[in-house]
Chains A and B, each alone.
Chain A
């Protein structure tokens, strides 16, 4: 910033930025960022497994299975993630289930991911022509072999891009952990900011770290996709 502008800015902004507390807390913030990544990745793995099951239940299941999957998917997609977190965190107390902050975020995120991914998978399953399955059966595969070896890899390729988005989304939603007392990146930032009263500086630092995390995830997923689908 040119020094001639400084007096003008002081007139407008009666505020001094203090970045030192942020620098000092940076290692803690980066540790917290790792926790964010960990919980997001874990919830993605759980979400993919459950989402796959839900999609198959909704497409091929009997009426009870279809109903169960529909309720899960619609509830996950049509209510705010924060409400889901609160539900798992505080609502389940009615059944004597008291989750730790880590579990609240993990369970809430997995629930949310599973619902969104199930819809993606459903679209993927519907996009694979049934002739693929029939051809595999003709070649002597059992139906589960045909399903696992022929259909699912193709679905996986189709939903890879939405899955990348969901992973980014999971990282962003995990920031709600701050509101249920979980010390991931946002929670740690909130904690540090309240300790030092430098709210703006800390949240700006958190925003930058989140931005970098998202970019790194996109890059990594892009590199993986190049290796996986380059045939």
Chain B
């Protein structure tokens, strides 16, 4: 057997280049969650505002959003992924995942945003109106800053939840961190070490955000 042929190995153990592969996959996880969290938060804030404005909207929109919080995300993903081809728009896993995650995020954020708006005391809002602010000025300069501070921790909780839940998009076939770990496990047959490393990646993504919000929350208390 020639020397070159002897060097070919079909099953290699975990190696340095795999870390790079995992890092890229972590980038994909971050990408899909950042898109979902940013668009979902904006949408969710609008929903939350709508929920707080009228009882009729609160009931109708609220019960629709409730569905997203009462059905497992994995079922939502599979349902939407199989639904789009039916109406003639097959989506790729990334697109379907993003769409579902955006709605999921917005449903969770809507609840948080409504809590934030309701956390602003009525007297404060009336005071701002009696100073001559318009409704939108009141919203922009009084309700938004005060409400944001009240619900920042819950919002961070939602964001971290979505970051972790984005792992489920792997079921559709989008190669993010968890999917990458499955691919590597298939090759290396070392599930323990790879799952531990991937866990560390997730931890590295989410723990700093949790700590930063903790600190921000404490600092804002004395502001």
Contact = CB atoms under 8 A, between A and B. Distances in A.
Interface of A: 12-15, 74-75, 77-83, 86-87, 90-95, 168, 171-173, 175-176, 178-179, 186, 189, 199-200, 203-204, 206-207, 210-211, 214-215
B206 A83 contact: no
Given A80-B164, A95-B192, A200-B86, 8 more contacts: A15-B85, A78-B202, A79-B206, A83-B167, A86-B181, A176-B72, A203-B82, A207-B75
Contact of B191 (A93, A207, A214): A93
A93 B194 CA distance: 13
Given A13-B88, A178-B74, A203-B79, A94 B192 contact: yes
A206 B199 CA distance: 30
B203 interface: yes
Contacts of A215: 70
B191 A13 contact: no
| Max count, chain B CB within 10 A of own CB: residue among A15, A77, A83, A90 | A83
22 contacts: A13-B87, A15-B85, A78-B207, A80-B164, A80-B168, A83-B167, A83-B181, A83-B198, A86-B178, A86-B182, A86-B195, A90-B195, A91-B191, A91-B192, A94-B191, A94-B192, A171-B72, A176-B72, A199-B78, A204-B79, A207-B79, A215-B70
Interface string B182-218: 1001000011110110110011001100100000000
Task: Identify whether the interface residues of B are mostly helix, strand, loop, or mixed.
Answer: helix
Given A83-B198, A207-B79, A179 B171 contact: yes
Contacts of A179: 74, 171
A214 B68 CA distance: 12
A211 B72 CA distance: 9
A103 B2 CA distance: 49
Contacts of B185: 90
B105 to A, nearest CB: 15
Nearest to A168: B70
Contact of B202 (A79, A189, A204): A79
A13 B87 CA distance: 5
B31 interface: no
Nearest to B77: A203
| Max count, chain A CB within 10 A of own CB: residue among B74, B171, B181, B182 | B74
Contacts of A211: 67, 70-71
A12 B88 contact: yes
B138 interface: no
A215 B192 CA distance: 38
B83 A200 contact: yes
A95 B191 CA distance: 11
Interface in B112-160: 160
A15 B203 contact: no
Nearest to B196: A91
A210 B71 contact: yes
B178 A80 contact: yes
Given A13-B88, A74-B203, A214 B171 contact: no
Contacts of B34: none
A80 B165 contact: yes
Interface in B82-106: 82-83, 85-88
B164 A79 contact: yes
A78 B165 contact: no
B82 A78 contact: no
A75 to B, nearest CB: 7
A13 B178 contact: no
A30 to B, nearest CB: 16
| Max count, chain A CB within 10 A of own CB: residue among B72, B87, B210 | B72
B73 interface: yes
Nearest to A14: B88
B76 interface: yes
| Max count, chain A CB within 10 A of own CB: residue among B181, B191, B195 | B195
